[in-house]
């Protein structure tokens, strides 16, 4: 660590930066798991090609659309597997991607009260929609919730990848349990 003095509010800013970084890392790990699932839905001989296709796309949402299309084609034999994967993709598209976007893209401002108390607040007064969504909320609590949900869906995606790629002859009725996700921290 540096011996340089910290400026007022630095610890608070660092805590928010760390929380944002955890959201980004969790999301990236989750999306790589989705990429691996996409590649495993191909035959083993085309795994590298599938990953090349996945990684040539610049948009996470487009990658998920590609995975959905692949699943609808390759999982016709596995109704439950298709249902679970579509549920995962719907949860990601309808809630988790928005939480990730708020966590990553909401601008924050440093604010010091008259009594010297430092706060980080969403910079929403210029019309930023991501910042407006966390206005009046405990930002670190929100960010922790977003990260937790991303990690939960990532674990589900990993377990689902394993379940779906064990082979078509798998008759085991045990499926990964869907995580309980929510829009707000409880």
Among 31-40, 76-85, 146-155, 168-177, whose mean pLDDT is lowest?
A: 168-177
Would you say residue 4 lies in a domain?
no
Give, rounded to a whole angstrom, the gap between the first and last alpha carbons of the chain: 35
pLDDT in tens, 33-65: 999 999 999 877 899 999 999 999 999 999 999
Domain total of the chain: 1
Residue 44's pLDDT is 74
Band of pLDDT at residue 1, cut at 50, 70 and 90? low
Band of pLDDT at residue 169, cut at 50, 70 and 90? low
Cα dihedral 68→74→75→76 (10° resolution): 110
The structure tokens listed for 32 are 């790589």
pLDDT in tens, 108-138: 999 888 888 889 999 999 999 999 999 999 9
Residue 63 CA to residue 173 CA, distance in Å, equals: 29
Half-sphere exposure of 145 (CA within 13 A, CB side): 19
Would you say residue 42 lies in a domain?
yes
Would you say residue 185 lies in a domain?
no
Task: State which residues form the domain around 76.
Answer: 10-164
| Cβ contacts of 147 within 8 Å, gap of 6 or more | 19, 22, 23, 26, 103
Predicted TM-score of the model (pTM): 0.90
């Amino acid at each position: 660590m540096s011996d340089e003095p910290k400026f007022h509010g630095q610890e608070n800013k660092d805590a928010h930066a760390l929380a944002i970084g955890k959201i980004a890392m969790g999301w990236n790990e989750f999306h790589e798991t989705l990429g691996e699932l996409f590649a495993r839905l191909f035959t083993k001989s085309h795994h590298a090609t599938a990953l090349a296709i996945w990684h040539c796309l610049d948009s996470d949402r487009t990658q998920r659309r590609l995975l959905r299309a692949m699943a609808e084609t390759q999982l016709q034999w596995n109704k439950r597997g298709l249902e679970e994967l579509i549920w995962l993709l719907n949860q990601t598209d309808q809630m988790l991607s928005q939480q990730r976007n708020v966590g990553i893209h909401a601008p924050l401002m440093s604010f010091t009260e008259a009594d010297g108390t430092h706060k980080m607040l969403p910079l929403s007064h210029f019309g930023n929609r991501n910042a407006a969504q966390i206005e009046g909320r405990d930002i670190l609590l929100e960010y922790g919730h977003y990260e937790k949900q991303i990690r939960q869906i990532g674990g589900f995606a990993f377990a689902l990848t394993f379940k779906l790629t064990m082979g078509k002859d798998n008759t085991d009725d045990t499926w990964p349990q869907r995580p309980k996700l929510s829009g707000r921290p409880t």
